[in-house]
Amino acid sequence: MLDIRLLRENPDQVKAGLEKRDVDGRIVDEILAFDVRRRELLGEVEERKSRRNSVSKEIGQLKRAGEDTAHI
């Protein structure tokens, strides 16, 4: 199993190693494309978690103050 960091840092080296074993090196490009998409999605998830936490905190403060939280 290869470390993703090796693929990111030395894709040409990995491709050359794969081609020595008669494996198409283009798979490295596909893996790197999936890795980029994965990182983008993780950023979105973290952003949404942060938003959820902020709203939850706001709801808690409103409830403690006795205000209506239906608008949230």
Number of folded domains in the chain?
1
Contact between 42 and 28 under an 8 Å Cβ cutoff? The reply is: no
Question: Domain of 44?
Answer: 7-64
Over residues 8-57, the pLDDT tens digits come to: 999 999 999 999 999 999 999 999 999 999 999 999 999 999 999 999 99
The shares of helix, strand and coil residues in the chain, as percent rounded to the nearest 5, are: 75, 0, 25
Model pTM greater than 0.95?
Answer: no
In a domain, 69, yes or no: no
- Is 19 within the bounds of a domain? yes
